[in-house]
Each structure stands twice: as structure tokens, then as C-alpha cells.
């Protein structure tokens, strides 16, 4: 029986990926004289920025800045971009959150972003009170596509794995959900790049037609229930 729904944030609740890519490009161009190509960057969508900067430093042979310093410099640039441009909400996502909350479902956010950024976005969307748990991948040892973040969300919600469903927009997120043994609805967000969501149970292109009954059907079919 479906009791809880776990949402990714970036690309599912807020359309943040274009701004993240832009800030990363600006950071590497300004401090390292490097041009970040999208084909390289897209592998990190759904993973943590800590993992990304460590690998970028290693892949590009950067010696003048540590991953931690670049991450901090990027945060400054990103904060300026957010203040001037803002994160646009994903159409229909906040409405789905409120609807599920009204119907008594337990809700969690399991995002690779920092806890501060998660809290800020949920408050901006006016849906913070709908969520019983928030899990930041930054605080875990292993990022998506490892299952840790969803396992932690299940634990904090106080439910069983088979009572949950995940909504994700990235290949790393879908793989993490599969690894955790949780059914997954893949949201096709064109701003998240060409993500391989083929391992998700079902795919949707917008949230306007996604209702509780649909999510329950996805969950039940995953476990072979009528």
C-alpha cells in the first residue's frame, strides 16, 4: 500500500538545472580559464556538487584551486544568479505536493542539494509544511546513483520501502531509486538534458495530469498488485 512519496527537488520541484550549469560555466571560466561543455556536465545532474567538483578538479588537472574552494566560489556566483534570475517552479509540481499532503500521504524531499538550498526553495514555493522529512545528499557519504539518500528518506518517514514511490528527473536519481527497491515515476524535464529515464516505472511530461490515483497505480503495478 502506498503511504509515502519522495520528491527530488532540482528539475522536479524547481527548474534549477539551467542556472546550475550557467554558474558552473562562469566559475570555471573566471577562475580556471576553462570552458565547461554541457555534454561533459550532464553526467553530474542528480549527483552532489561535492562529487562534481572533486571530479572536475581531477579530470581537468586543476592545481590552483581545491574542489572545496571552487565549490565555495561557485556558490557565490550561483547565489547572485538566483537573486537576479530566480529558480522558476516546475509547473504543477507544488500543486501535486499540496494535493498529496491533503490526502494524508507522507512526503519527503531527497535532493543532492544542500539542506539550506532545499529549505529556501520549499519556503519559496510555500510547501515546506507539507514535508515530513528532508534529506540532503551532501550530508551522506555516497551520492546518487547509490540508494543511500532514498534509504535515509524511508527511515526518516518511518515507513517501509515497499510503501514508497519516488519522483525523479535524472538518470542518477532513477538508478538510485531502482537500487533502493522503490518504484519510480520519471519526469521528463527538457531543461535537465537528455536523461536516460528508461529504468523508471512510468514517464510523465508534465504534472498537470498526475493525480494520486495515477501514483497509486504505478506503485501497485510495480509490486504486481491489481
Residue from 10, 148, 169, 201 carrying the catalytic annotation: 10
189 closest CA partner among 170, 166, 167, 209: 170
Q: Do the beta carbons of residue 68 and residue 96 sit within 8 Å?
A: no
Q: Please tell me the distance from the alpha carbon of residue 115 to that of residue 122, in angstroms, as a whole number.
A: 11
* Residue 19 Cα to chain centre, angstroms: 14
Q: Do the beta carbons of residue 20 and residue 113 sit within 8 Å?
A: no
| DSSP 8-state assignment for residue 87 | P
Q: Is 59 considered catalytic here?
A: no
Q: Is 10 considered catalytic here?
A: yes
The count of other CB atoms within 10 Å of the CB of residue 119 is: 16
| Residue 124 preceded by cis peptide, ω within 30 | no
Give strand pairing partners of 5: 107, 165
Q: Please tell me the distance from the alpha carbon of residue 41 to that of residue 20, in angstroms, as a whole number.
A: 10
Q: Please tell me the distance from the alpha carbon of residue 66 to that of residue 138, in angstroms, as a whole number.
A: 17
Q: Nine-digit cell at 85?
A: 534570475
Q: Catalytic residue positions?
A: 8, 10
Amino acid at each position: 500500500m502506498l503511504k509515502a512519496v519522495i520528491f527530488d527537488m532540482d528539475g522536479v520541484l524547481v527548474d534549477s538545472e539551467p542556472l546550475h550549469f550557467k554558474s558552473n560555466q562562469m566559475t570555471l571560466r573566471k577562475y580556471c580559464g576553462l570552458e565547461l561543455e554541457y555534454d561533459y556536465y550532464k553526467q553530474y545532474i542528480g549527483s552532489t556538487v561535492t562529487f562534481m567538483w572533486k571530479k572536475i578538479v581531477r579530470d581537468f588537472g586543476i592545481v590552483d584551486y581545491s574542489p572545496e574552494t571552487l565549490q565555495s566560489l561557485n556558490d557565490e556566483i550561483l547565489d547572485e544568479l538566483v537573486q537576479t534570475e530566480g529558480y522558476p517552479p516546475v509547473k504543477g509540481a507544488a500543486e501535486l505536493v499540496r494535493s498529496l499532503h491533503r490526502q494524508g500521504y507522507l512526503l519527503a524531499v531527497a535532493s543532492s542539494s544542500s539542506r539550506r538550498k532545499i529549505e529556501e526553495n520549499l519556503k519559496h514555493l510555500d510547501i515546506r509544511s507539507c514535508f515530513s522529512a528532508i534529506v540532503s545528499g551532501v550530508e551522506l557519504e555516497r551520492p546518487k546513483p547509490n540508494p543511500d539518500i532514498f534509504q535515509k528518506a524511508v527511515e526518516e518517514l518511518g515507513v517501509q520501502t515497499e510503501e514508497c514511490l519516488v519522483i525523479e528527473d535524472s538518470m542518477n536519481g532513477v538508478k538510485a531509486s531502482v537500487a533502493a527497491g522503490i518504484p519510480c515515476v520519471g519526469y521528463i524535464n527538457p531543461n535537465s538534458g537528455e536523461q536516460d529515464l528508461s529504468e523508471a516505472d512510468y514517464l510523465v511530461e508534465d504534472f498537470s495530469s498526475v493525480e494520486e490515483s495515477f501514483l497509486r497505480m504505478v506503485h501497485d503495478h510495480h509490486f504486481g498488485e491489481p
